[in-house]
Structures are given as C-alpha cells and as structure tokens.
Chain A
Amino acid sequence: DTEVTQTPKHLVMGMTNKKSLKCEQHMGHRAMYWYKQKAKKPPELMFVYSYEKLSINESVPSRFSPECPNSSLLNLHLHALQPEDSALYLCASSREPGLGYEQYFGPGTRLTVT
C-alpha cells in the first residue's frame, strides 16, 4: 500500500481565517513533505520533515506553519493568507530521508483564498 491521504479535498478561506490541512500515511515512512503547485506549473517544495523534525524550510512565509505531531501525520496551519496563496497543496512521504527513496504523493488540497 502506497497511500497518502489528505483532507480536506477542497478549502475556501478568507484572508482573516485560520485553517489547517492534514496529511496521513501508514507506510512507516520517516520523511514527509509539503509542496505547493500553481496551475500549469510543477510542484515546488515548501517543507521537509525528517523523523518528525523540520529539516528544510524553503523560505516559506510565516503565514504557513507546518507541524508533525507523530510519524504518520503532517499538518499545515494557515493564517492570514493572501489570494496568491491559492494553489494545490500536496503532501508526500518517503521511506527514509536523504537516501533518494521515491516519494509518494497524496491527492492534494485545492485551496482558494478569497
């Protein structure tokens, strides 16, 4: 089983709202990732968690706050977003960090900021 699940599937939020995106995997993977994908563009890396610790932050604005409560869960907390943050947010996981193992992606959360 190589399933990564994400909720919600769609999210519409105002610029003053606080919301969270959730990601879950039960493959025993120890690396988890957040990517952002704009229309007609490839995914862009935002954050990497290795063994539940944040190891890479690709200069993402502080209005995006990641959290890894345990080895199976990854959250992305959103606050005071801008309309340009509207995008498909993808979660991914891989077996071990840093060893080049393949990454498996979830279906994504389509975020619209109004």
Chain B
Amino acid sequence: GQQLNQSPQSMFIQEGEDVSMNCTSSSIFNTWLWYKQDPGEGPVLLIALYKAGELTSNGRLTAQFGITRKDSFLNISASIPSDVGIYFCAGQLGSGGGADGLTFGKGTHLIIQP
C-alpha cells in the first residue's frame, strides 16, 4: 500500500542534542500523527495535528502540519536516553466518507550515544 517518505531512516546522536525528522507525501492528508514505538510494544501517540500550518508542542516535542498538507516534521529538543526508539509519522485522510486507516512512514530509528 501507499507509504509516506520519512527521513532520516536512523539517527545517531549525543544525549542533549536536538533531533529533527520529517515526512512527505504525494497525497494530501487531513490529519498527521506522530508515534513512538519501543521494541515489542505498540505505538504510543505523541502528537496529533489537524490543521494545515498547525504547530503543536508536547513537552520537549514540537510538530508541525505542513501548509500544503503533504508534509510534517517532528523536533525533539535536548534528547535524553529514554527518547531512544522508533518514531513513525502517520497520515489519515479523514474525509468523512467512511472510516479509513493510517498510512505510515517507514520510521526513524533514534539511537543515543553515551
């Protein structure tokens, strides 16, 4: 099925550094979501975005819904060891024409070096 283009695929950073990742799509989405997944667990919702241009923060996390509705980014400030994991972006059409599932990016694997 359709996938979003998520980059980078992996990041090796030092504790305390800022992190930035993004997703792009050839299709418009009406909702952008960012999830974090730890090994063997389900994805945990970090931030939900509903309006083009919307900028939303959740603690050290900030995400934006692109003005074209075809992209989104997630920033993490002052990374800490528990930020390690895989981050997924997901888009949802949400057109009101019936339920639809999420289209996921391939994920960004965040690794924090001591």
Annotate A75-89 by CB proximity to B: 1 below 8 A, 0 otherwise: 000000000000010
Which chain A residues border B58 with CB–CB below 8 Å? Answer: none
Which chain B residues border A90 with CB–CB below 8 Å? Answer: 42-43
The reply to whether B100 and A56 form a contact with Cβ atoms under 8 Å apart is yes
Q: How far is the CA of A110 from the CA of B105 in the complex (A)?
A: 21
Chain B: interface residue total (CB-CB under 8 A): 31
Q: Does B73 contact A (CB under 8 A)?
A: no
The reply to whether B98 and A108 form a contact with Cβ atoms under 8 Å apart is no
* Residues of A in contact with B (beta carbons under 8 Å apart): 2, 4, 6, 31, 33, 35, 41-45, 48-50, 55-56, 58, 88, 90, 97-108, 110
* Residues of B in contact with A (beta carbons under 8 Å apart): 1, 3, 30-31, 33, 35, 40-45, 48, 50, 88, 90, 92-102, 104-107
